[in-house]
Amino acid sequence: MKCIINRRAQFSASHRYWLPELTEAENWQKFGQCSRFPGHGHNYELYVSMLGDLDEYGMVLNLSDVKHVIKQEVTSQLDFSYLNEVWEEFQQGLPTTENMARVIWQRLAPHLPIVRIQLFEHPELWAEYEGNNMEAFLTISTHFSAAHRLALPHLTLQQNSEIYGKCARVNGHGHNYHLEVTVKGEIDPRTGMIADLGAVQKAIDDHIVEPLDHTFLNKDIPYFEKVVPTAENIAVYIRDVLKQPIQATGAQLHKVKLIESPNNSAEVFCLPDHRSESLAAQTPVLAQV
């Protein structure tokens, strides 16, 4: 029987986004504060996912052996280091989160049956790499607060209450929504980036966070005058609004995850262009309740 196991590791390191072939002004324009000398640091969290068959002892791999490999090949070399200089790969392409995930995969692949590398630069930014050449995923998390009411206008309060429970109460209720936006793209071999991170963040802020924050969704957002603002429908709305702004940054929108509460979240994926339709598209919604 096949099973995926995950191993977590940590290291602390510093880096700088700086290309010597560019002027100081050009580096600042491209990388902003990340180009400052001598650099800045992070406490990185690394998750290594491995696939294999369960053996007679109920294990895919001996985790002590896995821990030793990760330490020997990655964390012992990167911990308390200046990333730009520690590995040759980071002199060819900058040690961005997504490029680091790719290079760590390359370092571990000869030793472990890995299927995914996930690297957290901090809790609101992480990258994933799955061994697909230069393609990587980058996730930005953010939040907004909003109120909503779950009710269909053609139904009575009693009927809506039977469907939506307390969420149908006439004055609505609110949430502190946690939003995770995942983009994908090809890693630039020199900058190490799949897109301008600042531009991706600005697209999310301008098109989603600012318009939705501190609103009553049913009344302040025209789309939700006719569509019930469930977590699933809000996630679909965010996906469809963000698709073009994210594409303008050079990346592709891959997934939107909306966490309404610790017990309730929804995920929607971005369809290829030839399958994208209206905001009420046929996209599968993965909900956790």
By annotation, the residues acting in catalysis are 167, 214, 260
Q: Residue 218's Cα: distance from chain center in Å?
A: 27
DSSP state of 88: T
DSSP state of 205: I
- Contact between 256 and 234 under an 8 Å Cβ cutoff? The reply is no
Residue found under tokens 């324009």: 29
State whether residue 14 is helix, strand or coil: strand
Residue 105 burial class via C-beta count within 10 angstroms: exposed 0-12, middle 13-18, buried 19 and up: buried
For the chain, strand residue ranges (E) read 2-15, 40-53, 81-82, 114-122, 125-129, 135-148, 173-186, 215-216, 252-261, 264-269, 285-288
Kindly state the tokens that stand for 174: 């609110």
CB under 8 Å, gap of 24 or more: what pairs does 201-210 form?
201/140, 203/242, 203/245, 203/246, 203/248, 203/249, 204/140, 204/142, 204/179, 204/242, 205/142, 206/245, 207/241, 207/242, 207/245, 208/144, 208/179, 208/238, 208/241, 208/242, 209/142, 209/143, 209/144, 209/179
